[in-house]
Each structure stands twice: as C-alpha cells, then as structure tokens.
A = this chain, B = another copy of it.
Amino acid sequence: MTELKSTAITREDLLFAVRTLTRSRDAVGFAHLVKRTHPSDLVEALESASIEDTVALLLLLAAPQRAELFAHFPPARQDELLRAMPREAVVQLFEHMPSDDRADLFNRLGEEARQKLLPALAKVERDDILKLASYPEGTVGSVTTSDYVYVAPEMTVAEALAHVRATAPDKETIYVIYVLDQHFRLRGTVSLRDLLLADDKATVAEVMRRDPVFARATWPRLKAAELIRRYGLLALPVVNGGDKMIGIVTVDDAMEIEKREDASQLARFGGTAALTSAGSVDLDILNTPFKRMFGVRVFWLVVLTFFGILTSTFVAEQEELLSQVIVLAAFIAPIVDMGGNTGSQSATLVIRAMALGEVKLKWRDLWRVIRRELPVAAALGVVIALLEAVLAYFSKGVGPDVLLVVGLAMLTCTALGGIIGALLPFAARRIGTDPATLSSPLITSVMDLVGVFIYFGIAYVVMGDTLRQAAGA
C-alpha cells in the first residue's frame, strides 16, 4: 500500500459500485460493499438513487445489516423508504434498529401505522419503543438509547467482564458500564479500562466510581450534550422521574445535538427565532412548511416594521430642521446604521464568550466585558467619526456645523452601539432566553431608534441657533 486513502474506496468508485449493484441486484456484492464501507458514505452515495432502487438494495441485505444502514439515512429519507417497503421488512427494522433511532422513527409514523406495527413486535421491543418514544422531541429522553451494559455492585470484576463479553453485540457502547441495584437505580459507573486493570476478584462496588454525572429524561437534550462535553464523557446515564435508569446518551449523539443547536442559533441570530413554548423546532430552509416559515419570519419583520415606524415618525417630525438643512437627511442611514454595526460585533463576541464558558451571568463578568469594550468602542467611534467627517466634506462640501453634527453623532452612535451590544446578551440571559433571540436585525433596529434621537438631538444643540435665525427671518 503506497498511498493511504481516507475511506475504504474513493467517492467515485463508491458511486459507480452502487449504480452497478443497483442494476445487477447482486446480494453478495452489496453485502460485501456494506461491510467495507462506512454507513455515512454509503448513504451519501445513495442520495441520487431512486426510492425504489434504494429499497431494492436494502432488501438484499440481512435484517441486522439492513437496520444498521437504514438508521444512518436522514429522517426525511427514512420516511420515504419506509413507505415503499413491504410490511415484513418494516417490522424487522423495528426489531433490529438501535433503540434511540427506532423510537424516533416510531414517533414519525402516523397513528394508524403505529397501531398496525405494535402487535407485530415482541413485548420487550414494544415496551422499549413505547417508553423511549414517549419523551417529547428536544428532551434528553428523545435521544436516549436503552442499549447499555449494566452490572450489579456485588458482582466480581471477572463476572462483570464475562457479562460484558456476553452482551456486547447488542450494545451501543461497552466502554462505560453502569452499576445498578435491583431497583434499577444508578449506584455508580465503571469504565472498561478500570475493569481490565482491576483485580479479577475485586467486587464492582470496590472499583466503581460513585456519584456519577447523570441527566434526567425530561431535561432539554442540549443539557445532556453540554454535560458530555464538559466532563469528556463517552456516555451519560439517563434516569426517569423515579430515579430509575432508562438508558444513555452517547458522545456521538452529543456532537450531533450541539452541532444542530449551534447551527440553529446562528439562524436565530439572523432573525428567525421561534418564540413558541416547549420544544420549539427551529426553522429549516428545506423542510419547514410554508405556513410556519412565513409565520415565524413575518412576526419578526412586523416587530421590526414597528420599530421602523417609530424611527420614521420621529424623523418626519423633524421636518422643520430637515427642510432647512436638507443634507442632514443624507446622513441618517450611515450614522444610525453604525450603531447597529458595532452593536452586532460586540453582541456576537459576548455570545461567543458565553458559549465557551469564558463569560457567565455574573456582575463580575459583565464588568470585565464592559471594561474591555469601552476603550475599543470609544476608539472605533473616534476613528469612524473622523472618517465620516472627512468623506462628508470631500464628497458634499458641507459646512463646519454639519460636519460637527455628523462627527459627534457618529462618534456617539458607534461607541454607544458597542456598549449596548455588549450588554444585550446579559439582558437576554437574565430573562432566561437564548441571547441569539436578540437578533442582529433587532439590535440594528433598536440602535436605529436610539441613533435618530442622538442625531437630531446633537443637530438641534449645534444648529439650534441657525434654525431659530432662519425661522425668524
């Protein structure tokens, strides 16, 4: 092997192989390809295949391999495939899929399909699905898998290892083993590493780590992901209301949860936060139905419109000043916008620091942030004000009084925007909402309103005499 490839075969080879096998319906060939290729790559290669072809290929596999591959398709694709599969194969999927994935699939079935499916399953599977599927989307329970290894505290290390070996094939992970008493309450955890390095005759209770980090099934799933990341866990135990362990959340799911949440946070910051109660589902540009997409976005645009009305009403009231000094109108936008620009910068920097745990909701941290932002915002204000004044002079040849108004207003708006922007995430967290809900458009609109007050306020102070003179003449 002279060159290392990053996957079993190249993407082009994989696409070619998939197309060939689709035509030939070669069961042995496909099973071999599945063995050599990571499910994520296979699913990607099958993106452009038709539903019928994909189902035909899936049916070439044995039920366990089929279920493993099926679980890697995106949810929307899974639903399409399911509708085209024979009933027998659907039941087999529910028998062999990982417990968290099949609970999700179950929740996406219509009521009728669910009623038809349940009687065909063994009681153990039916109970498992119903239990995991009962947790609402967005909770820890909805991402929990019941395929974990557990032992009793009084077992010896040797017995525990034997149990791990025996039950391993069906488990999501065997590297963290959970120690439960006879009531299924979590007494501790022990890693496979600890078991392997311990004395065979020691008991599990002597080796285990007590008081493990855990999550409750009703907590938001993001909390589970944060715990996993904070403590560097491979898996996190999940308990129900009665403190009985029901399953685990694994680190790979935690990575997906955080990725999804961070991507959605960016979209919320763009002005698409959905303010519905309990388990709000974030907007998805390809999948969210028109009605909801329109509804959430128009809500914010209406809010922003009202802010805009306030701003424009105020500006219109300054007709007298504007008719005297028409050119003042030309600077409204650049000056009030700059407040939103610096505010957007500082707000996102603070949100970033909060996400990384560097800044918390404490007065001490708020003070640290302001102490750092103040000089920067002031310096930015001075530089941008000078720049704007210079450009205004050379491009429009405005008089010194207008230059002064423009410069002072720009300085104030820029610096104030930075300070206000830095404070907004604290305010949002204080009222218990994600800082990104105070979106960039909202920050900009608020700073627009603040900005016009500042602008015209300064204009009246500086040019008030001019105005009175002109009115008197």
User: A: which residues have CB within 8 A of B?
Assistant: 1, 3-9, 36, 38, 40, 74, 164-165, 168-169, 174-175, 185-187, 192-193, 196-197, 210-211, 213-215, 227-232, 234, 239, 243, 251-252, 254-256, 258-260, 262-272, 282-287, 290, 293-294, 297-298, 300-302, 304-306, 308-309, 311-313, 315-316, 319, 322-323, 326-327, 329-334, 336-338, 340-342, 344-353, 355-356, 358-359, 368-369, 372-373, 375-376, 379-380, 383-384, 387-388, 391, 395-396, 414, 422, 436, 439-441, 444-445, 448, 452
Q: Are B297 and A380 in contact (CB under 8 A)?
A: yes
A291 to chain B, nearest CB (A): 10
Closest to A7 in B: B213
Whether A38 lies near B263 (C-beta < 8 A) is: no
Closest 4 CB pairs of A and B: A270-B348, A308-B334, A262-B262, A440-B440
Q: Known A-B contacts: A293-B372, A298-B380. Give 5 more (CB < 8 A).
A: A1-B187, A40-B231, A259-B262, A266-B266, A266-B355
A342 contacts across to B, CB distance below 8 A:
297, 301
Give the chain B neighbours of A347 by CB distance below 8 A.
270
Does B344 contact A380, Cβ atoms closer than 8 Å?
no
**Given A329-B329, A448-B333, A5-B313 contact (CB < 8 Å):** no
Asked whether, in the complex, the Cβ of B353 is within 8 Å of the Cβ of A330, the reply is: no
CA distance in complex: A242, B54 (Å): 40
Smallest Cβ-Cβ distance to A72: which chain B residue: B232
**In the complex, which residues of chain B have a beta carbon less than 8 angstroms from the beta carbon of A175?**
175, 192-193, 234
Given contacts A338-B304, A338-B305, contact A294 B379 (CB under 8 A): yes
A414 to B302 alpha-carbon distance, docked (Å): 12
Looking at the assembled complex, report how far the CB atom of A177 sits from the nearest CB atom of chain B, in whole angstroms: 12
| B352 and A285 contacting across the interface, CB-CB below 8 Å | yes
Residues in chain B near residue A285, CB distance under 8 A: 346, 349-350, 352-353, 359, 369, 372-373, 422
A396 engages B316 (CB within 8 Å) = yes
Task: Quote the shortest CB–CB distance from A238 to chain B (angstroms).
Answer: 12
CB distance from A394 to the nearest CB of B (A): 10
Give the residues in chain B near A164, CB-CB below 8 Å: 196
How many angstroms from the CA of A263 to the CA of B349 in the assembled complex? 9
Q: Hey, which chain B residues are within 8 Å of A264, CB to CB?
A: 352
Known interface pairs A285-B350, A337-B444; A8-B211 also in contact (CB < 8 Å): yes
Q: Tell me whether B302 and A384 are in contact (CB under 8 A).
A: yes
**Across-interface contacts of A352 in B (CB, < 8 A):** 263-264, 266-267, 282, 284-285
Q: Is the CB of A313 within 8 A of B270?
A: no
A234 to B176, CA, bound (A): 13
Establish whether residues A283 and B344, one from each chain, have CB atoms under 8 Å apart when the complex forms.
no
A315 touches which one: B263, B329, B439 (CB < 8 A)? B329
From residue A249, how far is it (CB to closest CB) to chain B in Å? 13
Contact B334 A309 (CB under 8 A): yes
A-B contact pairs, 13 of them (CB 8 A): A4-B214, A229-B259, A255-B258, A259-B262, A259-B355, A263-B356, A267-B349, A270-B440, A308-B388, A312-B333, A315-B329, A316-B329, A333-B448
Complex Cα spacing A3 to B242, Å? 10
CB-CB < 8 A to A239: which residues of B? 4
* Cβ B193 vs Cβ A341 within 8 A: no
A250 to B381, CA, bound (A): 44
Q: Which residue of B lies closest to A356 (CB)?
A: B263
A265 to B151, CA, bound (A): 43
- The chain B residue with its CB closest to the CB of A251 is B251
Question: Do residues A359 and B315 form an inter-chain contact, with CB atoms below 8 A?
Answer: no
A329 CB to closest chain B CB (Å) equals 4
Q: How far is the CA of A314 from the CA of B182 in the complex (A)?
A: 78
Beta-carbon nearest neighbor of A252 in chain B? B232
Return A168 CB to nearest CB of chain B, in Å. Answer: 6
* Given A322-B329, A344-B271, A368-B286, A391 contacting B305 (CB threshold 8 A): yes
Bound state CA distance, A80 and B43, in angstroms?
49
Q: Which residues of B contact A214 (CB under 8 A)?
A: 4, 6
Q: Contact at A326–B332, with CB atoms within 8 Å?
A: no
Taking each of A290, A347, A440, which has the highest tally of chain B beta carbons within 10 Å of its own beta carbon? A440
User: Are the CB atoms of A344 and B294 closer together than 8 Å?
Assistant: no
Which chain B residue shows the least CB distance to A319? B326
B-side contacts of A439, CB under 8 Å: 344
Chain B residues closer than 8 Å to A193, beta-carbon distance = 168, 174-175
